Chains A and B, each alone.
Chain A
Amino acid sequence: MAEAQTLESGESAAPSGYADTRTIGGPILSVENIVVKFGGVTAINDVSFDVREGEIRAIIGPNGAGKSSMLNVLNGFYKPRSGKINFAGQSFPAMDPYFAASNGIARTFQNIALFRGMSTLDNLMTGRMLKMKRNFFWQCLYFGPAQKEELENRAHVERVIDFLEIAALRRTPVGRLPYGLQKRVELGRALAMDPKILLLDEPMAGMNVEEKEDMSRFIIDVNEEFGTTVILIEHDMGVVMDLSDRVVVLDYGSKIADGTPDEVRANQDVIDAYLGVSHD
């Protein structure tokens, strides 16, 4: 819990704390009765929850509880067997990855999924892909509209670079960066998309205390300054309880609790699930 205390005494207040200036809106994204199966294995069983605009929503649960599968459903990489997803005023049996991306859902991955052969700058620029419209002809020519567009988006990416304090890494191929910085670049790539909703799959896994503090600070800043809704999977309970507004708890693919961090912490099913399975 050490990092939790530093956070609270840190410069930006935890969202659950006193100086909360955000406005939490109505539901921006919700899932109803989602079922995901792989062959005979049920990864997610009849899970429903909603995410409100501007909040930090955590999904927790022991290993294999179906958390990452849930994120994969949310941005369309997995197609659920049944259930529906409500987003952007529409209802779908499954999300389309392109629709998700073009409507402002960005994500990071549990095992870093950066483009290893490209520089940090180019990685972030891929996040601007959907904002760049100039067609093939202008791209061949480069000078003129394509260059203008390139520079506008470069300026935007530079703001993300400043925000994440990675200016020194611009030209470095990401394959050569240490783990913690790769995670940060991956967050940057998601932020470059100007997301409405940010899906973070274990953003702090494998990090030391300082790196976790940095990452927590970035998440809070993104949420507060840009009003970005965050959906977060994390194993570090201290981080989850401090950062999030509401928590969904999954166990063996089913939802066993849903509520504020305090409610969830007091829930008997959650205590059983965590003590029953040997995990932190």
Chain B
Amino acid sequence: MEFLHALLIQPFADMVMEPAFFIETLVKGLMAGVLYSLVALGFVLIFKASGVFNFAQGVMALFAALTLTGLMELLEPSGMPKALIVILAIAATIVVMILLALIIERLVLRPLVNQELIILFMATLGLSYVLEGAGDLLWGSDVKVLDIGLPTDVWDINGVFIEQLDVTAAIAAGSLVAVLAVFFTKTRIGRALRAVADDHQAALSVGISLQQIWVIVWSVAGIVALVAGIMWGSKSGVQFSLSLIALKALPVLILGGFTSIPGAIIGGLIIGVGEKIVEVFWYSVHGGAVENWFAFMLALVFLMFRPQGLFGDKIIERV
């Protein structure tokens, strides 16, 4: 009886009794969700254009953040103004991510073209190890503080505390999605990307270079990873656990559907909010750390009933 009370009544009572706290939790969840969405976005881009399920997306975010902090440390002694250092370091990191895309296409994707997708998936698992090792080897594995001068104050709106960093993250994610939407619908490359996503063979037959498209997509995914890495790194430091947290982008994708950009955003928000609220308001039932698995269990339940996700294309089997 006590258990049922803690499970079914108390949490909702808490929500109503302390609306400010509830809203604060909600906002925190939304912001975590934005970060999941950012990682998931990178997945979707690559999945749409190449059918590759890039397990290394989270490690790419870690790698980008590590590179950025490393470069900023290198530039520090030069005495340049902080803003200039940040801009230079970001530009250099973008170049690194594009180079990385080139290397990945040349050394991993091209030799594996026409292989089964599950083989490519396992290759990206290997890739995540390579990137993790390389990042640590180049820049060291201790926890780093990433400060690119984003606002870190806290707003107090009628007792609801909102971190400015979170708001910045949301704005950054929003503008990124807007830019990508324009890029996909209005530019020539965007059209080619959609053509490749629809049908590789057909795209090849009208003269679209798959290799070029893959480099572009992986570069864009690398830049998305950089944005995610910056936001996450500014919030909680740059460290290995970032790549594990980024695994939560996977259940986000299952919820949103692997091919849908709005799906990635909404899926991320649902999972972010869901896990925060369950974690905080049902604490007495489970005793904490539910954030570790909540997203995955939710995805598991979803897979049983709607494998294609909220917005994905229906899966049809043929003989």
Contacts and interface: CB of A to CB of B under 8 A. Distances in A.
Nearest to B316: A38
Contacts of B319: 68, 72, 77, 109-111, 113
Interface in A53-81: 68, 72, 77
Is the interface on chain A under 10, 10 to 19, 20 to 34, or 35 or more residues? under 10
Interface in B299-319: 316, 319
Task: Say which size band chain B's interface belongs to.
Answer: under 10
A109 B319 CA distance: 8
Contacts of A77: 319
Interface of A: 38, 68, 72, 77, 109-111, 113
Contacts of B316: 38
A111 B319 CA distance: 8
A39 to B, nearest CB: 9
Nearest to A75: B319
Nearest to A77: B319
Given A38-B316, A77-B319, A109-B319, 5 more contacts: A68-B319, A72-B319, A110-B319, A111-B319, A113-B319
Nearest to A113: B319
Nearest to A201: B319
Nearest to A38: B316
Interface in B78-104: none
B86 to A, nearest CB: 52
A229 B319 CA distance: 22
A202 B319 CA distance: 13
A113 B318 CA distance: 12
A101 to B, nearest CB: 15
A38 B317 CA distance: 12
A72 B318 CA distance: 10
A79 to B, nearest CB: 13
A38 B318 CA distance: 12
8 contacts: A38-B316, A68-B319, A72-B319, A77-B319, A109-B319, A110-B319, A111-B319, A113-B319
B81 to A, nearest CB: 61
B128 to A, nearest CB: 27
A110 B319 CA distance: 8
A50 B319 CA distance: 24
B201 to A, nearest CB: 16
Interface in B263-319: 316, 319
A72 B319 CA distance: 8
Nearest to A107: B319
A164 to B, nearest CB: 23
A68 B316 CA distance: 16
B16 to A, nearest CB: 45
Nearest to B317: A77
A77 B319 CA distance: 9
B317 to A, nearest CB: 9
B255 to A, nearest CB: 25
A77 B317 CA distance: 10
Q: When A and B form their complex, which 8 residue pairs have the shortest distance between CB atoms, in order from nearest?
A: A77-B319, A109-B319, A72-B319, A113-B319, A68-B319, A110-B319, A38-B316, A111-B319
Nearest to A72: B319
Contacts of A113: 319
A2 B50 CA distance: 46
Nearest to A71: B319
Contacts of A72: 319
A77 B318 CA distance: 9
A109 B316 CA distance: 18
Nearest to B314: A39
A190 B267 CA distance: 46
B154 to A, nearest CB: 52
A132 to B, nearest CB: 25
A94 to B, nearest CB: 16
A214 to B, nearest CB: 25
Contacts of A38: 316
B55 to A, nearest CB: 23
A111 B318 CA distance: 11
A119 B91 CA distance: 54
Contacts of A111: 319
Contacts of A109: 319
B105 to A, nearest CB: 27
B66 to A, nearest CB: 40
B200 to A, nearest CB: 18
A190 to B, nearest CB: 14
Interface in B233-253: none
B114 to A, nearest CB: 14
Nearest to A69: B319
B15 to A, nearest CB: 42
A202 to B, nearest CB: 12
A135 B271 CA distance: 44
A33 to B, nearest CB: 23
A127 B316 CA distance: 26
A38 B319 CA distance: 14
A270 to B, nearest CB: 26
B313 to A, nearest CB: 13
B118 to A, nearest CB: 13
Contacts of A110: 319
B315 to A, nearest CB: 13
A147 B316 CA distance: 40
Nearest to A110: B319
Interface in B38-70: none
